[in-house]
């Protein structure tokens, strides 16, 4: 009986062990190899001495801090704007109206679409030879398609943020919409009977109820955007680029002597991301408790 009880308790952990074990081996294995190379232990180029010189080179390079600021700015703006738009759209879609099911379906449509496909769609839409530029030219709003505002490969990263918004707003919005539909209208009705206006009902009733869901999903969005390289690589400016793109470019360089420096950037990026996520999580917990 004890053996059967023990096996019953271990049943769920054993079922997920193969998947979790594979992820842990790949993640920590790659992290250990990257840490070794960042410290100078790279037998492929005949380097066996452990040193912090590559970290010193990275931290003394002003390009590193420009890329770090660009990365943080894009991650923060994308997360904040996605959260605000997700809450606004969820408040609209929670009510039943004619066509609400169709609009809810369209709202969730972009969730399974890969980010690279979304980036390709944004390129076709907002470049100076894209659909918006041609439409503006056909309507006589601009003299030529080349007069359309530059949104791709720009320093502001407009196309990058548009791509993240199109992908992350539904991701956060689905969670917020589920929370709103779960709590129902009774809390707002009580607040209305007590004389609360629309803004007060949102500020003091709805927002505290949906905030845990918003904060948990926004943490995921911030972590993804902060460490993502494919969208900034395809749509962002060549300088200053984001830190993941800078590390990827050094990693892809034919000169293997730049590999330890790229790994040092990656390790620093990982540490910064962990620190920011811990700070964000504590801030979120403090906000929810309030």
Q: What distance in Å separates the CA atoms of residue 123 and residue 11, rounded to the nearest whole number?
A: 48
Interval 172-199: pLDDT, tens: 999 898 888 888 778 888 888 888 888 8
* Cα–Cα dist 234/252, whole Å: 15
Average pLDDT over residues 38-63: 85
Q: What is the pLDDT of residue 84?
A: 93
Tell me how far CA of residue 288 lies from CA of 49, 114, 216, in angstroms: 48, 32, 11
Q: In the prediction, which pLDDT does 9 show?
A: 67
The residue among 109 and 16 whose pLDDT is bigger is 109
**Structure confidence at residue 287 as a pLDDT band (50, 70, 90):** low
Q: What is the pLDDT of residues 108-156, one digit of tens each?
A: 888 888 888 898 888 889 888 888 888 988 888 888 888 888 888 888 8
In the predicted model, is pLDDT for residue 169 greater than 90?
A: yes
| pLDDT per residue as tens digits for the range 56-106 | 888 888 888 899 899 999 999 999 999 999 999 998 888 877 888 888 888
Using the predicted structure, report yes or no on whether residue 285 has a pLDDT greater than 80.
no
Tell me if residue 47 falls in helix, strand or coil: strand
- State the average pLDDT for the chain: 85
DSSP 149: P
CA atoms within 13 A on the CB side of 138: 7
- In the structure, what pLDDT confidence band is assigned to residue 1 with cuts at 50, 70 and 90? low
* In 184-242, alpha helices (H): 186-193, 198-201, 207-227, 230-235
Q: What tens digit of pLDDT does each residue of 219-229 get? A: 889 888 988 88
Kindly report which listed range (17-31, 140-154, 203-217) carries the lowest average pLDDT score: 17-31
Residue 24 and residue 44: Cα distance in Å, rounded? 25
Report the pLDDT value the prediction gives residue 139, as an integer from 0 to 100. Answer: 87
The pLDDT value given to residue 7: 60
Cis-peptide, bond into residue 278, ω within 30° of zero: no
Domains in the chain, CATH or no CATH each: 73-256+272-289 (1.10.3720.10)
Which range has the worst mean pLDDT, 11-15, 30-34, 48-52, 114-118? 11-15
Q: What is the pTM of this model?
A: 0.83
Which pLDDT score, from 0 to 100, does residue 128 have?
Answer: 84
pLDDT at site 166: 92
pLDDT at 171: 92
Q: Is the pLDDT of residue 207 over 80?
A: yes
At 73 the pLDDT is: 92
* Residue pLDDT, tens place only, 231-264: 998 888 888 889 899 888 888 888 888 888 888 8
The torsion angle over the Cα atoms of residues 115, 226, 244 and 240, rounded to 10 degrees, is 100
Compute the residue count for the chain: 290
Asked if 173 and 86 touch (Cβ cutoff 8 Å), the reply is yes
CA distance readout (Å), 24 to 18, 32, 214: 10, 12, 28
* pLDDT score of 8: 67
Contact in structure between 211 and 287 (CB atoms under 8 Å): yes
Q: Rounded to an integer, what distance in angstroms lies between the CA atom of residue 223 and that of residue 276?
A: 9
Count Cβ atoms within 10 A of the Cβ of residue 170 and give its class: 0-12 exposed, 13-18 middle, 19 or more buried: buried
If DSSP codes are grouped into helix, strand and coil, which group holds residue 42? strand
What phi and psi, each to the nearest 5 degrees, are found at residue 245? -70, -40
């Amino acid at each position: 009986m004890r053996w059967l009880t023990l096996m019953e308790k271990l049943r769920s952990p054993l079922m997920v062990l193969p998947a979790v074990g594979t992820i842990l081996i790949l993640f920590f294995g790659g992290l250990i190899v990257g840490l070794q190379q960042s410290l100078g232990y790279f037998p492929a180029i005949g380097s066996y001495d452990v040193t912090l010189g590559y970290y010193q080179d990275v931290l003394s390079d002003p390009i590193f801090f420009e890329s770090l600021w660009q990365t943080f700015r894009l991650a923060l703006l994308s997360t904040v704007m996605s959260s605000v738009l997700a809450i606004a759209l969820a408040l609209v879609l929670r009510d039943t109206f004619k066509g609400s099911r169709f609009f809810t379906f369209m709202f969730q449509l972009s969730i399974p679409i890969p980010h690279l496909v979304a980036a390709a769609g944004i390129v076709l839409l907002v470049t100076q030879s894209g659909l918006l530029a041609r439409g503006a030219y056909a309507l006589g709003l601009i003299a030529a398609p080349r007069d359309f505002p530059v949104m791709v490969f720009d320093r502001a990263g407009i196309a990058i943020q548009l791509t993240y918004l199109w992908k992350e707003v539904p991701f956060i919005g689905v969670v917020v919409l589920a929370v709103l539909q779960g709590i129902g209208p009774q809390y707002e009705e009580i607040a209305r009977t007590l004389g609360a206006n629309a803004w007060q009902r949102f500020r003091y009733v709805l927002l505290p109820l949906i905030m845990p869901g918003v904060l948990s999903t926004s943490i995921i969005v911030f972590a993804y955007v902060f460490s993502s390289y494919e969208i900034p690589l395809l749509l962002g400016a060549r300088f200053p680029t984001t830190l993941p793109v800078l590390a990827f470019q050094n990693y892809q360089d034919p000169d293997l002597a730049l590999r330890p420096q790229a790994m040092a950037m990656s390790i620093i990026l990982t540490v910064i991301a962990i620190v920011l996520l811990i700070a964000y999580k504590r801030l979120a917990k403090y906000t929810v408790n309030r």
